[in-house]
A and B are shown apart, each in its own frame.
Chain A
Amino acid sequence: KQEVTQIPAALSVPEGENLVLNCSFTDSAIYNLQWFRQDPGKGLTSLLLIQSSQREQTSGRLNASLDKSSGRSTLYIAASQPGDSATYLCAADSNYQLIWGAGTKLIIKP
């Protein structure tokens, strides 16, 4: 049974810092891994999708990596801004169901 864990549960850093969010999964037989952003009381914004055959994806200041053998994915945010404050969720695509981590709540202090 696939389980997805995100560490840390919460993170607070000063503006301008680079940071890494971690996501681990127990079953390496995934089709892809996705990172989402969720603002309080809002819906889900898809950030990056990494197919199982890929190692990383980049979009602007965001870079996500995937290492299936170790069951890990990281989301790297460069030069963080207060507008990046949100909860970041990772989800593993296993047998058409997305299995979700509980999220990392990120606060960027001005």
Chain B
Amino acid sequence: NAGVMQNPRHLVRRRGQEARLRCSPMKGHSHVYWYRQLPEEGLKFMVYLQKENIIDESGMPKERFSAEFPKEGPSILRIQQVVRGDSAAYFCASSTTGGSGNTIYFGEGSWLTVV
């Protein structure tokens, strides 16, 4: 059973370009979470999705960021018109069921560098 798979592992974008980060949850997991780790800072919750639904996006910046988890395929975190401040590690996690107390499994992260 493969773990949570994220790609690309490293992504370089110029300011103003779009970044797309993908996350394939563990087999049988229908709940996905995205976290962001800014340089020298702790991780911060961004969004919680279930298949075809956004459950909680309270941690997402109001502009330029969006996330989806379609019925088929990976979850996508999309950042439009990237700026240098978007440079960070983006971690995806998944779980079998939602709610608190469930074990969640993390991917190895996607490192975005904006130049």
Partner of A51, one of B101, B105, B106: B101
Which residues of chain B have C-beta atoms less than 8 A from A91's C-beta?
43
Number of interface residues of A (CB under 8 A): 25
**A101→B101 CA distance, assembly (Å):** 18
Are the CB atoms of B101 and A43 closer together than 8 Å? no
**A79→B98 CA distance, assembly (Å):** 38
- Residues of A at the B interface (CB closer than 8 Å) are 4, 31-32, 36, 41-44, 46, 49, 51-52, 89, 91, 93-103
Are the CB atoms of B42 and A93 closer together than 8 Å? no
Q: Say whether B103 faces chain A, with CB atoms less than 8 Å apart.
A: yes
Taking each of A42, A43, A99, A101, which has the highest tally of chain B beta carbons within 10 Å of its own beta carbon?
A43
Are the CB atoms of B101 and A89 closer together than 8 Å? no
**Known pairs A42-B108, A100-B35 / 20 extra A-B pairs, C-beta < 8 Å:** A32-B101, A43-B109, A44-B106, A44-B109, A89-B43, A91-B43, A93-B100, A93-B101, A94-B100, A96-B33, A96-B100, A96-B102, A97-B56, A97-B59, A98-B43, A98-B45, A100-B42, A100-B43, A102-B41, A102-B42
Which residues of chain A have C-beta atoms less than 8 A from B107's C-beta?
43
Which residues of chain A have C-beta atoms less than 8 A from B91's C-beta?
43-44
Are the CB atoms of A95 and B100 closer together than 8 Å? yes
Known contacts A89-B42, A96-B48, A97-B48: A49-B106 contact under CB 8 Å: no
Known contacts A43-B109, A49-B103, A103-B42: A98-B98 contact under CB 8 Å: no
Q: Mind listing 8 A-B residue pairs with CB under 8 Å?
A: A43-B108, A52-B101, A96-B33, A96-B56, A96-B100, A97-B59, A99-B45, A102-B42
